[in-house]
Amino acid sequence: MADNQFEGKLEEFSYALGLSISSNLLQSGVKNIDALQFLAGLQDTFAGNKPKIPMDEASLILQEFMTANNDSEALKKPGRRIYVSFEKY
């Protein structure tokens, strides 16, 4: 195991989880986040606090952001076509 400065297994696990989540986000095309709001979302969820936005709205925000990000990335790739649906989810 690599030499680290963690004081316990929970700190080590939490850091590893952060690495995994951030790696998955990067692979999904997410290039930047507001880390403080990301952390606030985690804290609210684990503390059982009422979220700042309803979960269905959060899902829609995520879906819209990822679609917009994927569409903008697709425009940069030659030979790739974009199909846009105006149907309501």
Closest to 40 measured CA to CA, from 32, 50, 30: 50
Please state, in angstroms and rounded to a whole number, the distance separating the CA atoms of residues 55 and 53.
6
For the chain (89 residues), the mean pLDDT of every run of 10, in chain order, is 82 96 90 91 96 95 84 55 40
List the chain domain ranges: 33-78
